[in-house]
Structure formats: structure tokens, C-alpha cells
Amino acid sequence: MKAAEPHPREAELLAAAAEARAGALCPFSKFPVGAAILDGAGRVWTGANVENASYTLGLCAERVALFYALAHGARDIQHVAIVTGAAAPSSPCGACRQILFEFAAAATVSSAVPDGQLLRTSVRELLPHGFDASSLT
């Protein structure tokens, strides 16, 4: 994937995602993830993954943060930061890519791990030819 340009607030967003990761509820996967989202008004919204014994009912950190932001009036999502404890930066899952495409298609995505490795891309690069409201017409 082509590397997107770094955002001036990328370090702040990654730190917020790392902090949010501490709130993850992941007793089944043991894979805590934190996310931070920057909206067009400059506000930062965070979330962590939440698992459920009925596995498919859990939510990834990216969707928790995005839904929280949207429910509180955030629009024009600029940047999504993700932090995991994996050996290499993790990309959003397919469901998160779809949701991000609908609400944050122009956003940059930065994914990092504690040792400093970073993957920077865009939502459109993660889901080329994505499905959104325009697909329904």
C-alpha cells in the first residue's frame, strides 16, 4: 500500500489510541486494540474493542470509536489511529473497513505497535471499490 502523508496530530492520536487500548474487554481473543479518531472540528474520539461470549456481537475498537464519535455529532472524519500489541501493525478487519468507508472514506489510517512500527494508509486504499449509499442508486 502507498504510504499516506503523516498528519500533524498523528503522534497525539496514536497516544490516545494506546491509552484507549487499556480499556479493552477481550477475554476471548486476548488481543486488546485501541482506536482514536480525529473529526473535522479537531475533536478526538476513542474506543477499545469489546468482546462478548456470543463472539459476533462484540465490536472492534475502530467501530466503537467511530460510533461514539458519530453519536455525539462528529462529522468529517480526518484520521483513524489504531494501536495493538501485535508483532506488526494490524490493519482494520473487513467489517471496520466497510464502516470506515461509509463514514470516513477520505480519512488516513495509522496503525502502530508499542515498539514504534507504523503502517500508514487510507480508508480508500483499504477498501477499493467500496460499497456506500451511492451504490444503492
Residue identified by cell 456481537 is 57
| Domain spans of the chain, in order of start | 10-128
The pLDDT tens digits for 46-100 are 999 999 999 989 999 999 999 999 999 999 999 999 999 999 999 999 999 999 9
C-alpha–C-alpha distance, residues 52 and 109, integer Å? 26
Determine how β-strand 34-38 pairs with β-strand 118-122: unpaired
Burial track 34-69 (b if 16+ CB lie within 10 A, e otherwise)? bbbbbbeeeebbbbbbbbeeeeeebbbbbbbbbeeb
Catalytically active residues, by annotation: 62
Q: Smallest Cα–Cα separation from 66: which of 89, 92, 28?
A: 92
The pLDDT tens digits for 3-38 are 567 788 999 999 999 999 999 999 999 999 999 999
pLDDT band at 114 (very low <50, low <70, confident <90, very high): very high
pLDDT at 100: 98
The pLDDT tens digits for 39-48 are 999 999 999 9
Is residue 1 over pLDDT 50?
Answer: no
Helix axes 61-71, 94-104, angle to 10 degrees: 30
CATH 3.40.1440.10 fits 10-128, yes or no: no
